[in-house]
Amino acid sequence: MQVYVERGDRFLDQWRTYFDGSKVCTAYHHPRWKRVIQETFGHPVYRILAMDNSGEVRGIFPCVHMKSLLFGNYLVSMPYFNYGGIAADCPEARDSIVCEAAGLAKELGAQHIEFRQVMPLENGLPARTSKVSMLLELPTDSDALWNQFPSKLRSQIRRPQKEGLTARIGRDEELDGFYRVFSENMRDLGTPVYPRLFFKNILSAFPDDTWVCTVYHGSIPVASGFLVGFRGTMEIPWASSLKKYNQWSPNMLLYWECLRFSCRKGYGFFDFGRSTADEGTYRFKEQWGSKPRQLYWHYWLSNGTAMPELNPKNPKYEMAIRVWKKLPLSLTRWIGPHIVKNIP
């Protein structure tokens, strides 16, 4: 098995051919994500390919090098998203890619590599299994979906409609509304916000597979979600609502409209995104009928390095989160992108 590491596009055609024909690739193995991440955040993006003796690609691994004084030096696939990791046809290709990635990490002085896997690697690397994605199988039309909901859920969806809230689904024309809601919600959670450019670049890179759904109270956006379609699944990796409008439950209308849209577009599954089992967001997604799918985040660790704790539950970030929640929104929109670029 031959393994190649590149920062350019020498093997772009081979990568694309494997991606198009592979059943194990996720949306985030698409070669265009390299451009999105580089143009938005400036991080080096590496492509690692394993080829057999005939020159046929048997596995791929996109990884991003992130390095900062605050959060350390590491490789991750893929940062900012729920999925990525190694996509391979056989254990030999998988193990060859891990070995090559470890060599790259040592060359770059990285403390760890994070592999965000849908299926376990089964090669002895330690893993975190605290996260699941929540998947709902969709019927062929939204009326059938509506009828399978319990009466309580249907009542919760009708509530914002009775209050006069409306929803629109579009693309660039809905980006300002989305970002207004998203950035305020992130501030309220104590989390630095991505730059608006990130979402603009995604819409530009994937014109046929990305949309924005926004719920309005009059002309004011009060809830919004970003949609990414891939093969038979529609995913909502980012969704937010403004807490001052929570009494009208705008998020219920948001998710219903996203589900209706997904049925209309012919998607067979709706991915509500990542959650921790039995926590609030998990229960919210579960009420729609979605089922958990285990996620496996594996780690290669340099000698003596512990598994990273780059998450809001880490006590070392507790004070920073409390302070962030009190900052002016304009300030968090300015400072946030410079911080979050190094948080995977």
**pLDDT averaged over the chain?**
94
133 in Cβ contact with 82 (< 8 Å): yes
Sequence-ordered list of residues with C-beta below 8 angstroms from that of 59, at least 6 positions apart, any chain:
49, 50, 86, 87, 88, 89, 90, 93, 94, 96, 97
The Cα angle at residue 41 between residues 297 and 69, in degrees rounded to 5: 70
In the predicted structure, residue 260 carries a pLDDT above the cut 80: yes
Q: What is the pLDDT of residue 308?
A: 79
* Mean pLDDT computed over 99-104: 96
2-128+296-311 and 132-293: identical CATH topology: yes
Percent of the chain at pLDDT > 70 equals 100
Q: Which CATH number fits domain 2-128+296-311: 3.30.1360.170, 3.40.50.1970, 1.10.443.10, 3.40.630.30?
A: 3.40.630.30
Domain chopping of the chain, boundaries: 2-128+296-311, 132-293
Q: What is the pLDDT of residue 233?
A: 98
0.85 surpassed by pTM:
yes
In the predicted structure, residue 316 carries a pLDDT above the cut 90: no
Q: What is the pLDDT of residue 108?
A: 96
In the predicted structure, residue 331 carries a pLDDT above the cut 90: yes
Q: What is the 3-state secondary structure (H, E, C) of 185-225?
A: HHHHHCCCCCCHHHHHHHHHHCCCCEEEEEEEECCEEEEEE
Q: Which CATH number fits domain 132-293: 3.40.190.10, 3.20.20.80, 3.40.50.970, 3.40.630.30?
A: 3.40.630.30
In the predicted structure, residue 310 carries a pLDDT above the cut 80: no
